[in-house]
Amino acid sequence: MAVNRVVVGAHYGLGNFIAQRVTAVVMVLYSLIMLFVLMGGRPLNYGVWKDLFTQGWMRVGTLLFMVSLAWHAWIGIKEILIDYARPDSLRFSLYVIFILIIATYLGWTVQILWR
């Protein structure tokens, strides 16, 4: 029996919908914590800044933020490209470019945090 699987279009909506909102909430929390730390804490210098990012919770939290950003960004970019990027060949090329950009962000983040 032939399987007519549609390979273009946005047919995976609910998972994306939920992921977009969960990742958004993670980023809101991180943003508020970061704002609190930066504005409420000691005046910044290199020592304070470096110490902050060598603490375990900060490293894990920042990685969690960046993974959320990557996931959220991919869904968002895909939505935008589905709406505007024609023909499909251009859209798929842009998909590849953005996947590479977003994957680079993740690798770069790990490198920065665990240097």
**Residues binding another protein (CB under 8 A):** 21, 24-25, 28, 31, 45-46, 49-50, 53, 69, 73, 76-77, 80, 98, 101-102, 105, 108-109, 111-112, 115
Closer Cβ to another protein, 19 or 102, answer by number:
102
Closer Cβ to another protein, 3 or 72, answer by number:
72
| Smallest distance from another protein to CB 53, Å | 6
Contact 8/60 with Cβ under 8 angstroms?
no
What is the Cα–Cα distance from 25 to 47, expressed in whole angstroms?
A: 30
- DSSP code, position 55: S
Q: Where are the alpha helices (DSSP H) in the chain?
A: 13-40, 46-54, 56-84, 88-113
Contact 62/20 with Cβ under 8 angstroms?
no
| Smallest distance from another protein to CB 3, Å | 32
Cis peptide bond N-terminal to 43, omega within 30: no
| Smallest distance from another protein to CB 112, Å | 5
Closer Cβ to another protein, 8 or 39, answer by number:
39
